[in-house]
Amino acid sequence: MSESSTILYSTEQDIAVLLLNRPEKRNAISRELLSSLHDSILKAKKDNKIRSLVLGGIGPSFCAGADLKERTTMSKKEVTQFLENLKKCFLELENFPYPTIAALDGDAFGGGLELALCCDFIFLKNDIRIGLTETRLGIIPGGGGTQRLSRRIGIAKAKEMIFTGKTIDASTALNFGLANSIWHDSSLPAAKMLAEEIAAHSAPIALQLAKKAITEGYGQDIQTALKTESKYYNETLNTEDRLEALQAFQEKRKPIFKGK
């Protein structure tokens, strides 16, 4: 395991595990944490062995959002630059080539929930609370929350959460479609288990192209979306992995994918 002062980075077989590491500050997003998180995502992206990414937090909170104590020392120009850096980092996570899973074993508010929303899957511990609470601080979500939340749970529920600034429990999050599953102990082992399952059974290139097809096709009209799907499907036809899967089927064995 390698670590900065604010991010713990490790790999477990084909999985990159990133853990926010400011438990004494409830893993609030400072400039240092943001920079380390961005660097860690890029590190995982450049590692050819990685097939999925799991994001979690050390301590009782997943992430309390922006570091408001640090924010009070920042000029308006510095705040604007911080938000630009935040958006770049979050986009890197959202556009990570392989599946990403956020494992929330503690509360996530504001930017903390916005961070989780960049992941493909969100797992929750059963006793936590989450919310976009910015309107109660005189601002609005600035890390993509107004856009990603509405795309995940629908505009009506997103408005309800953002306009009221209230937090919701894990069960409500699951009912809203915000979370994929709830776990009574830690959600981190379950997230790793899913990541391992994906990595063990799916062809790497197929994973990348499936993610692109879903992401790009969402929101398009159906005819355009089907063309998007066909474009990426056709790319899989030229891969060695596809031929290996067919050969393995004939030989009644597990395919050995090489990402080619």
Domains in the chain (CATH in brackets) are 2-199 (3.90.226.10), 203-251 (1.10.12.10)
User: Quick check: is 12 catalytic?
Assistant: no
| 8 Å CB contact between 187 and 104 | yes
Contacts of 204 (CB under 8 A, 6+ apart): 51, 98, 241, 257, 259
Q: List per-residue pLDDT tens for the chain, 260 residues long.
A: 555 689 999 999 899 999 999 999 999 999 999 999 999 999 999 999 999 999 999 999 999 999 999 999 999 999 999 999 999 999 999 999 999 999 999 999 999 999 999 999 999 999 999 999 999 999 999 999 999 999 999 999 999 999 999 999 999 999 999 999 999 989 999 999 999 999 888 899 999 999 999 999 998 999 999 999 999 999 999 999 899 888 888 888 888 888 88
Q: How many CB atoms lie within 10 A of CB 78?
A: 13
99 phi/psi in degrees, rounded to 5: -60, 145
Using DSSP bridges, classify how beta strands 100-104 and 107-109 pair: parallel, antiparallel or unpaired: unpaired
* Residue 217 annotated as catalytic: no
Give the strand pairing for 181-183 and 121-125.
Answer: parallel
134 is annotated as an active-site residue? yes
Candidate list 66, 116, 190, 199, residue with the active-site label: 66
